[in-house]
Homo-oligomer: A and B are copies of this chain.
Amino acid sequence: MAANSVLANGGKGWSPGRLTAVYSEVQTSRLNHPLPLPSVVRGPFKIVDGPPSSAAGNPDEIKKLFPNLFGQPSVTLVPTGATPSEMAGSLKVGVVLSGGQAPGGHNVISGIFDYLQDRAKGSTLYGFKGGPAGIMKCKYVELTPEFIYPYRNQGGFDMICSGRDKIETPEQFKQAEETVLKLDLDGLVVIGGDDSNTNACLLAENFRVKNMKTRVIGCPKTIDGDLKCKEVPASFGFDTACKIYAEMIGNVMTDARSTGKYYHFVRLMGRAASHITLECALQTHPNITIIGEEVAAKKQTLKNVTDYITDIICKRSELGYNYGVILIPEGLIDFIPEVQQLIAELNEILAHDVVDEAGLWKKKLGHQSQLLFEFLPQAIQEQLLLERDPHGNVQVAKIETEKMLISMVETELDKRKSEGTYAGQFKGQSHFFGYEGRCGLPTNFDAMYCYALGCGAGALLHSGKTGLISSVGNLCAPVEEWTVGGTALTALMDVERRHGKFKPVIKKAMVELEGAPFKKFASFRHEWALKNRYISPGPIQFIGPGSDDVNHTLRLELGAAA
């Protein structure tokens, strides 16, 4: 542990950047929390190549897009007697945070920094400020032990901040080249989601094409949990965010059971995939959980979803329960084909026609879209027509799905009441849990995982690797036994056709209906619907019972008992 605590406590100073305020007791205690490391990065190691890689789809196109990098093997670190001589020198490395916040980002940076300090003495680490724009504009800060210290094990991305810019155009690539040349960078670590890691790979290819020495390594970040594959079992931040949401859901469940009169509709962040919703369901056992991928697979309509919820509410009412908790993924309506159709038609009409009060414009909608529009609650109809983005497009993201569903369920229940098939009382309460989860103090798991990802990224750069994503595996074993390596970014890629061109993309990992987490959920949901099997996970603990638990999704996917 002594070696780790040296690594973890690289500096004792305080950065004036963050620490003009006082820390809470919990924040302070986390600052000095020592982090264990996988044993392979604690001693001398060598890099072992795996077999040549391919691509997730369309390997021929990927090969054309990445002629230098395509096919390179994924690598694993294995212990060895002495550090290989080619790893002797010091390095100049840049790091950037890209996209939305996820708990643990600061620990990835700490991991890179501590690795370089410990293993590549004399190295320099630059933090690019404000995301990829910082690379293009050469806005950076040199990271020192004093600068990093106040961010250790803390949430947020505020050490160097993040941004959503992309390095895409030839001019932007040129700017990036100028920056890495100016700073004489041996390496660059891009911490981000699927898009950012695709961008990292394009940079890696570009630097290689130009015969520049700068290597690029990615790190898997997103609370949404949709950047993962066999070799990259998890994106960081997912564990913490889900546990924060699950704490709140558990509290709301206890409230629902205590008052006995509310249905809580909880919308959870995660626009593309429903991993967060599924994980929270496994942690808390709600009465109803909607998984977007299932809705899409079964080609369900909004009416189907409404009926599914209403049916369970009616059955519960017969059992004497006029309360419950319902989880809804943020991106639900993106999964419903008929909604996509309506939005497309609306955008077309609104761009060219006048919306008359009498509603004659509605006749321009297709039959199915007309029916759907009329089925929507009035508030949602108005929102679609009135609140448009600067391009005049309907803003799907602004629809508060939980409120929409409450309103539609209410209407359906009123109908059933008048038909005599429902005699209960229904009161809906809406919640959206989002921003609260992106910047919490990282759980012990995320803190350790990120630290290992960062150390791994440092080790890969130190070994001269490029175009890989830092990969830490065997995550259900003790940290000592975690594996460390890198996966070829091109191996995660497929192409999409956009504007007549092939664009490389890392496919988002969606909830697999045949995967262990969904299957477990599906095998219990009928029981959870009618019986109240609520679990309250409680607040994240850093010490004592529950503090080292790993989320259900990861445990189930890795085949560990959950």
Contact = CB atoms under 8 A, between A and B. Distances in A.
Interface of A: 20-30, 101, 154-158, 161-162, 244, 247-248, 250-252, 254-255, 257-260, 262, 264, 283, 285, 429, 431, 435-441, 531-546, 549
B155 A251 contact: yes
A164 to B, nearest CB: 10
B20 A101 contact: no
A538 B27 contact: yes
A541 B538 contact: no
A382 to B, nearest CB: 9
Given A101-B254, A158-B258, 6 more contacts: A25-B545, A154-B536, A244-B539, A251-B436, A429-B435, A431-B435
Given A156-B254, A258-B161, A429-B435, A21 B532 contact: yes
Contacts of A283: 24
A285 B27 CA distance: 15
A253 to B, nearest CB: 8
* Closest 8 pairs (CB-CB, A-B): A26-B538, A25-B546, A539-B539, A29-B545, A156-B254, A254-B439, A21-B533, A255-B439
Nearest to A247: B539
Given A259-B162, A531-B20, A532-B21, A436 B538 contact: no
Nearest to A18: B257
27 contacts: A20-B532, A22-B535, A24-B250, A24-B535, A27-B537, A27-B538, A101-B254, A101-B258, A154-B254, A155-B251, A155-B254, A156-B255, A157-B258, A161-B258, A161-B259, A244-B539, A247-B539, A248-B248, A251-B435, A251-B436, A252-B435, A255-B438, A264-B435, A431-B435, A440-B539, A539-B540, A541-B543
Given A162-B259, A436-B252, A26 B545 contact: yes
A158 to B, nearest CB: 5
A544 B549 CA distance: 18
Contacts of A252: 435-436, 439
Nearest to A283: B24
A340 to B, nearest CB: 26
A254 B260 CA distance: 35
A21 B439 contact: no
Contacts of A255: 101, 156, 435, 438-439
A532 B25 CA distance: 18
Contacts of A101: 254-255, 258-259
A158 B26 CA distance: 30
Nearest to A443: B539
Contacts of A264: 435
Nearest to A540: B539
Nearest to A105: B258
A88 to B, nearest CB: 37
Contacts of A531: 20
Contacts of A546: 24-26, 29
Given A255-B156, A531-B20, A543 B544 contact: yes
Residue from A258, A437, A531, A546 with most neighbouring chain B CB atoms (10 Å): A258
A244 B429 CA distance: 19
Contacts of A262: 435
A338 B428 CA distance: 31
Contact of A26 (B248, B435, B541): B541
Contacts of A258: 101, 156-158, 161-162, 439
Nearest to A248: B436
Contacts of A27: 535-538
A431 B269 CA distance: 14
Nearest to A438: B255
Name the residue among A101, A156, A252, A542 with the largest chain B CB count within 10 angstroms. A156
A161 B254 CA distance: 11
B544 A544 contact: yes
Nearest to A255: B439
A549 B25 contact: yes
Contact of A536 (B24, B260, B533, B545): B24
A17 to B, nearest CB: 11
Contacts of A155: 251, 254, 536
A102 to B, nearest CB: 10
A440 B497 CA distance: 49
A537 B30 CA distance: 11
A439 B251 contact: yes
B538 A257 contact: no
Q: Which of A161, A255, A437 has the most CB of B within 10 A?
A: A255
A211 B135 CA distance: 84
A541 B443 CA distance: 12
A247 B247 CA distance: 11
Contacts of A248: 248, 436
